[in-house]
């Protein structure tokens, strides 16, 4: 393989730039050239190609977002869009592609592999950490730390005013960010979509804690579980405690990647590239207990990633 493509697709995640850098430099190290396409699959269809050399990915390891930009392409969902994408990739001399993104992007990669036998490798990039086949996806650690910073700041004012704060974090249909931020931030309760919860029980718990002298609380809610404003209203109405809420939103997706995310991105980007150049196809690189692994995309996309029951129990015990 003399030339490969790279894209970032779907929601951006801090560390995607480090992954692009790793793909480019690993490929160059093996004597292959790299073409980056802007705006993910949409940019392939529109032929937004940019040859990437070692210098063009210099100085990006520290930055959030993605230098290649990103998009969620409607055209690529249709077979005719994918045919066009394959045509453009071939016109540009690309013999394979590394796709950095979340499950929607990896689903697109699997389609290129299955429908056109085009050589693809996936790299998990999503703050949600909801991708099977890897312990961590790129951007999760940075997003958790951004959420945690907000939780720590809110705790100061919650304590001073003796209020209940409900903080909504991202995570799409999952509660990985919520659970991690709740554990690290010492939250009094965490609501995630994977586990049923009772708001009346949470109100009882807040009353018990208040009776023991705890006059401020932080409740973390995953966006897929409920709206923070509704939870705040319910608690205020049922307990009489003064409550406030905030929705952290996209601030969790920006900022300089943590050391963890940078190293993860470098390892996964380089590993995926090396495997693609060595003839492996239709897989996604991941980490399992800090070891690099690679699983078929078909397996990754058909397996649901479960929340760790040990962490759930720990959050419950710690909130007492
Ligand atoms: O998948 C990443 C993510 O940030 C989710 O946590 C969130 O639900 C979604 O993307 C938001 O998407 P958009 O940026 O299109 O509003």
Report CA Rg, the chain: 22
Q: Are residues 250 and 265 in the same domain?
A: no
Nearest CA to ligand 1 atom 14: 11
One domain for residues 120 and 10:
yes
Q: What are phi and psi of 129, to 5 degrees?
A: 55, 35
What sections of the chain are H helices per DSSP?
16-29, 40-45, 79-91, 103-116, 140-161, 176-185, 199-211, 228-239, 259-277, 297-302, 309-318
| The pLDDT of residue 166 | 98
Give the span between the Cα atoms of 154 and 156, in whole angstroms: 5
Same domain, 169 and 116: no
Cα of 176 vs centre of ligand 1, distance in Å, is 14
Q: Roughly what angle, to the nearest 10 degrees, separates helices 176-185 and 309-318?
A: 40
Question: Whose alpha carbon is nearest atom 9 of ligand 1?
Answer: 172
Whether 123 and 22 share a structural domain: yes
| pTM score, whole prediction | 0.98
The CATH number for 176's domain is: 3.40.50.460
264 and 248 housed in the same domain: no
Q: Which residue from 40, 170, 252 has its CB within 8 A of the most atoms of ligand 1, so it is best to mutate? A: 170
Kindly list the protein residues whose Cβ atom lies closer than 6 A to any atom of ligand 1: 11, 102, 126-128, 170-172, 223, 253
DSSP assignment string, 276-296? HHTT--SEEEEEETTEEEEEE
Determine the distance separating the centroid of ligand 1 and the alpha carbon of 172, expressed in angstroms: 6
Say whether both 130 and 261 belong to one domain: yes
315 in any annotated domain? no
Of 10, 107, 128, which is best to mutate to test ligand 1, by the most ligand atoms within 8 angstroms of its C-beta?
A: 128
- Smallest CA separation from ligand 1 atom 15, residue: 11
Burial of 288 (0-12, 13-18, 19+ CB in 10 A): exposed
Tell me, what's the pLDDT at 173? 96
Cα 294 to ligand 1 centroid, rounded to whole Å: 25
Q: Whose CA is nearest to atom 13 of ligand 1?
A: 11
For the chain, 320 residues long, the average pLDDT of each consecutive 10-residue run is 97 98 98 98 98 98 98 95 98 98 97 98 98 98 98 98 98 98 97 96 95 95 98 98 98 98 98 98 97 98 96 92
Residue 316 belongs to a domain: no
- Exposed, middle or buried by CB within 10 Å (0-12, 13-18, 19+), for 237? exposed
Is residue 193 located within the same domain as residue 100?
no
Question: Do 245 and 288 lie in a common domain?
Answer: no
Which ligand 1 atom sits nearest the alpha carbon of residue 223?
8
Considering the domain architecture, whether residues 10 and 131 belong to the same structural domain is answered as yes
- Whether residue 308 lies inside any domain: the answer is no
Q: Is residue 178 part of a domain?
A: yes
- 99 and 125 inside one domain: yes
Q: Looking at the 3D structure of the chain, how many domains does it have?
A: 2
For residue 79, report the distance from its CA to the centre of ligand 1, in Å.
Answer: 25
Q: Which of 234, 254, 274 is a domain's end point?
A: 254
Does 249 reside within a domain?
yes
**Structural domain contains residue 247:** yes
Q: List phi, psi (to 5°) of 247.
A: -110, 115
Which domain, by its residues, includes 101?
A: 3-139+257-302
Angle at 219 between CA 213 and CA 223, to 5 degrees: 175
Q: How much is the pLDDT for 320?
A: 83
In a domain, 130, yes or no: yes
pLDDT number for residue 56: 96
133 in the same domain as 11? yes
Task: Assess whether 123 and 19 both reside in one domain.
Answer: yes
Can you list the alpha helix ranges (DSSP code H) found in 136-187? Answer: 140-161, 176-185
């Amino acid at each position: 393989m003399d030339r490969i493509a790279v894209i970032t697709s779907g929601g951006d995640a801090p560390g995607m730039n480090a992954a692009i850098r790793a793909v480019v430099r690993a490929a160059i190290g093996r004597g292959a050239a790299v073409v980056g396409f802007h705006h993910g699959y949409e940019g392939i269809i529109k032929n937004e190609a940019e040859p990437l050399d070692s210098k063009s990915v210099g100085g990006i390891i520290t930055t959030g977002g993605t230098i290649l930009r990103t998009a969620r392409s409607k055209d690529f969902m249709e077979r005719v869009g994918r045919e066009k994408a394959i045509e453009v990739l071939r016109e540009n001399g690309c013999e394979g592609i590394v796709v950095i993104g979340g499950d929607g992007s990896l689903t697109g990669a699997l389609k290129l592999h299955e429908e056109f036998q085009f050589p693809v490798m996936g790299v998990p990039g999503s703050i949600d950490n909801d991708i099977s086949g890897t312990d961590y996806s790129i951007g999760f650690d940075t997003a958790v730390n951004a959420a945690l910073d907000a939780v720590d700041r809110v705790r100061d004012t919650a304590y001073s005013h003796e209020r209940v704060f409900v903080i909504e974090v991202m995570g799409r249909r999952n509660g990985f960010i919520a659970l991690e931020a709740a554990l690290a931030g010492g939250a009094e309760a965490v609501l995630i979509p994977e586990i049923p919860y009772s708001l009346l029980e949470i109100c009882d718990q807040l009353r018990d804690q208040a009776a023991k002298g705890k006059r401020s609380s932080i409740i973390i809610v995953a966006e897929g579980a409920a709206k923070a404003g509704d939870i705040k209203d319910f608690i205020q109405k049922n307990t009489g405690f003064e409550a406030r809420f905030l929705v952290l939103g996209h601030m969790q997706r920006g900022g300089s990647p943590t050391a963890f995310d940078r190293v993860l991105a470098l390892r996964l980007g380089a590993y995926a590239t090396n495997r693609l150049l060595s003839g492996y196809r239709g897989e996604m690189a991941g980490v399992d207990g800090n070891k690099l692994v690679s699983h078929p995309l078909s397996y990754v996309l058909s397996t649901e990633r479960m929340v760790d029951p040990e962490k759930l129990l720990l959050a419950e015990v710690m909130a007492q």
